Structure 1
């Protein structure tokens, strides 16, 4: 618990070591653990709220990039690169599931999906890059998949698809994002779906069809 208490104190004190987006993501992942929340009390809640706000601000301002952390190993200076976009998306949703409806989180999810290699003839098809100009790596793929699992495939794929819709149609679909995301989730992840969800989805899609037809 000493290490956890130390992280919480750094966060609440506004220490510069917790300012980078990757650091906030790591702290968010820790303070979101049920075991930590159960014994940390209000300080943990305050720390979680603080890092969530910082993550949302960073995603909103486009700070989610490959960040560098300098360190030393004996006499050798070295640099570690953190994938802030990959880390921040999963961490902020874990810390506060309601943030999945926040516009910066939605944009971050679709931006993360854009880093996946999808070309049918691409050697690394299905894997993720570290950034738009970066390389395909195993750790970029692992962190991206962890973020997608946290967000649920239905939500991620649904918002990615919205980019190709006009504003009125996207607005109608957006009236019931959870329903459409559930339907997409069935196709992508094989999750269960209820009759009520299917009926609601049909109503939403009918509204989309009417809007497209009238337009």
Structure 2
């Protein structure tokens, strides 16, 4: 009986010492869940948490309006969420920035900085945890040119740039752009997925992570 309790105690201690796999969702308002009622429960990171289960800790590090270019109007680099990501030291990172970089006052002036700054952020994120796995999200289409965003810049320039960055860094992409092309109804304002769209995003990431 004594051996039994010792063995049971060992199992319980082992179970308690198992840390959850940490997933960081890094991005802008699409990641944050702007426009989604009850975004605290229905943003894509929260819905991904439900799919992944208790062995995973999924955090939302989305910042509305954030862009990648350091000289942009709201660089993610300067946001407290970026510091929080680094402190979190995630095992898995889904990085999706670029939509706000298409804004006229960001892209038309500083587009040559985009690749340099993106690669610099990837370097930092890779070094947070020796076993960190990175994924680059290709942003959903911009169906309407709102808030100075340029849908043609995303379609004809940024997508190719992001694919090359991913290829150069041996990082897999998650193609939300192609996924939403025939689902414009799930982006009511032409930019941000609604709760149903966020659910589908979570499902796509879940499939990638489980493969």
Give the TM-score range, shorter chain: under 0.3
* Structure with more of its chain in strand, by fraction: 2
Higher radius of gyration, 1 or 2: 1
Greater helix fraction, Structure 1 or Structure 2:
1
Larger relative contact order, structure 1 or 2 (CA cutoff 8 Å, min sep 6):
2
TM-score, structure 1 normalization: 0.27
